[in-house]
Amino acid sequence: MTKKFLDIHLEGMDDNGEKLKRILDEGIPVAISICPETLRENGIYSKQYPYLLKFINLIGEVVSKSGNILGQQGNMHKCKYNHRFADPWHENYCLYNKSLNAEEQRELMEKGKETLVKLLGKSPEMYVPPNHQFDFITLKIANEMEYPFFIIKGVKTNEPLLYENNDVNTLVLPERKISENGYFHYIHYDEIKNNHEAFENVVKNARSFQNIGIDFSMHEKYFEKPYGVNHKQLNEDLKIIRKNGTATIIRKLLRDIKNFPTKI
């Protein structure tokens, strides 16, 4: 059986929570990734996504069910800088402005985490950089905040990678769209209906993120008995993460260039 891991980005909702109820009732193992700002009353998205506030209890049940995990999409999911033409829906890293330092990134990540804990009653286990844009400061802070999982855009690899800092391990997972090949998939909640076949294919093979280490025998390649940690493998993973980040940036730049005439 093909291993599949599903990350549902819960921003727009096109139903009355029926798909969430199905996930809960059928015990479908998923990650539910949420932008904290979408759950705040009178937040910048409250008029755009008013229905999310009505389903906080249901969302809390889903992410708290055994086998499921909670993902955090930054804090506001919007760049601190004003963008006249380019897509502004990133937060940790901007292609066109000065990078956020460690203190700034930690502040926004901690604020978002506090909101999810307060409203959903569960601490997020996975950090999902908004728009898949991040730098190594983001990864380092997520690791220090002890998120077990960190999401990148799967461009150069399908395999889970390991980032280790101060003896804290964070699995870096390369996710792809639900219609693409790979192990880790993401889809926006309101896109499920139009991608029904691909969604069902992933769902029938879905496994819990909590079992990634078991399914992939993750830790075997990172340790050399009796010598301890295989730092060569960790360094190779860092190179792959960097290549993925570069490829993602190029894709984002090309997307902005393609869309530029329509935004004048």
Cβ neighbors of 9 (< 8 A, separation 6 or more) are: 33, 73, 128, 186, 187, 188, 189
Q: Compute the distance between CA of residue 13 and CA of residue 32 in angstroms, rounded to an integer.
A: 13
- As for how many domains the chain has, the answer is 1
pLDDT tens per residue, range 205-252: 999 999 898 888 777 777 766 556 778 888 999 999 999 999 999 998
What is the average pLDDT across 106-133?
97
Contact 159, 5 (CB under 8 A): no
Q: What is the pLDDT of residue 179?
A: 92
- Which residue range forms the structural domain that includes residue 120? 5-263
Nearest to 115 by CA among 39, 11, 33, 52: 39
pLDDT at 136 over 60: yes
Angle at 78 between CA 11 and CA 179, to 5 degrees: 45
Query: Mean of the per-residue pLDDT values for the chain?
Result: 91
- Which tens digits make up the pLDDT trace of 33-65? 999 999 998 888 888 888 888 899 999 999 999
Of 76, 64, 151, 149, nearest to 109 (Cα)? 76
What is the separation of C-alpha 107 from the centre of its chain, rounded to a whole number of angstroms?
18
Write down the residue that tokens 């889970």 correspond to.
Answer: 160
The pTM score is: 0.94
The pLDDT, as a whole number, for residue 222 is 79
CATH code: domain of residue 136? 3.20.20.370
Token pair in block for residue 6: 């599903």
Q: Tell me, what's the pLDDT at 1? A: 47
Question: Closest Cα to residue 112, out of 151, 70, 82, 140?
Answer: 70
